[in-house]
Amino acid sequence: MAEKLKIASYWAADCGGCDVAILDTHEKFLDIVQAADIVFMPIAVDIKEKDVEAFPDGYIDVCFFHGAIRNSENEHMAKLLRRKSKVLVAFGSCAMMGGVPGLANFKDREGILSRVYFESPSTDNPDKVLPQTETQVREGVLTLPAFYEEVKTLADVVDVDYFMPGCPPASHQIVNVFQAIVAGNLPPKGSIVGASTKSVCEECSRIKENKTIKRFYRVHEIIPDPERCLLEQGIPCMGPATRGGCGAACPVANQPCRGCYGPLDGVIDHGAKYISALASVIDANNPEEAAKIFDQIADPAGMLYWFGLPASLLRRVRK
C-alpha cells in the first residue's frame, strides 16, 4: 500500500469556519483520512506546537493554512508551517486576501485598541490598561502575541504554493482539491485551486434582462423576485466581479453574492472592478443623479472590500 500523505490544517486570524468546512465534507472526510494522516489540526487532533517543531523540515506533504496574519503568533506559525510543509495552501478568503478580519485595515492599530479597550460601551478601564506583550507576575513573565499595525495575507509573510478562495471554500471544492492532491495532479505553483475562472454570474440561474435601476435596496428592504437577477432588482450583488466555483451559493439562497471567492483572473482590485459593474446598472441622466443612487448603498467601502482589503490596491488606512 502506498504511503499515506501527511496533511495539516491550522487557523490564524479567522473564525474557524474553514476548519469546519473541512469537517463539513461529511462522509468524504473518511476518504480524506483514508488517503492521508492528519498530523496537525487543532480543531480535530490534539497535537501541540512543540510536536510540529519536532517534525523534520518538509515532513508535512500539504498544509491548509487558513486565517489572516494579525499578530506575531500568526506570523510565527505561518513561518513554522511553511518550513515543515512541502506544499502550503492559503485556504479560504482570510489567508488568501485578508478576509473579513482584513476589514480592520480601515483602522490602524491604535484606533482598534482604543475602541476595544477604552471606548466600547461595555468597557470599564479607568486606568487605560492595554494588553502588553510581556507582563511580570509573581509566577513569572506572561506573554501575549504582538498586535500588528495591519492585517496581512499569508503570502505577505511566507511563500505560498496555492490559493484556495471562499469564505469558506465550498465542500465540493475541498474534495476536488484533495482528490487532485492525492492523484498528484496539482496545477503550477501559484495557481488558484478549488474555484472557477468564470464569474459567479455564469453559475447563477437567475434571469438576467440587462435592466437598469433607479435605487438600491438593502436585503431587508425588499422581497426579491426569486427568478430574476438580484442586481437588476437593486440589491448589490457582487456576482459579476467575483470568481465562481461556489455554484452561486448565495443567489441560489436568495442572498446577494458578497464576493468571498475574490476577483477574477487579471483583476488587480476587486472593489474597483465591482464599481464598474454597479455603474452599468445605474439608470441616471447625469453624474449627480448617479452619485445620489450610488449613495443609497450602505457602507460601500465595507461592501466592496468585504473579503479582500489587505490584498487590494487600498490595502489599509494611511496616517
Interacting residue ranges for ligand SF4, rule: CB under 6 A: 14-15, 17-18, 66-67, 92-94, 99-100, 167-168, 200-201, 204, 206, 208, 229-231, 237, 239-240, 242, 246, 248-251, 257-261
Strand order in the sheet with 60-66: 36-40, 5-11, 60-66, 85-91, 162-164
Evaluate whether 3 touches 36 at the Cβ level (below 8 Å). Answer: no
User: Based on CB atoms, which residue is closest to ligand SF4, 15 or 186?
Assistant: 15
- DSSP, collapsed to helix, strand or coil, labels residue 56 as coil
Least distance CB 43 / ligand SF4 (angstroms): 11
Least distance CB 101 / ligand SF4 (angstroms): 7
Pairing of strands 69-71, 147-152: antiparallel
User: Based on CB atoms, which residue is closest to ligand SF4, 55 or 312?
Assistant: 312
CA dist 29 and 25 (Å) reads: 5
CA dist 109 and 68 (Å) reads: 15
User: Based on CB atoms, which residue is closest to ligand SF4, 66 or 315?
Assistant: 66
User: Based on CB atoms, which residue is closest to ligand SF4, 93 or 105?
Assistant: 93
Least distance CB 311 / ligand SF4 (angstroms): 13
User: Based on CB atoms, which residue is closest to ligand SF4, 7 or 278?
Assistant: 278
**Residue 45 CB contacts under 8 Å (≥ 6 apart), including other chains:** 38, 39
Find the residue with minimal CB distance to ligand SF4.
Answer: 239
**DSSP code of 242?**
B
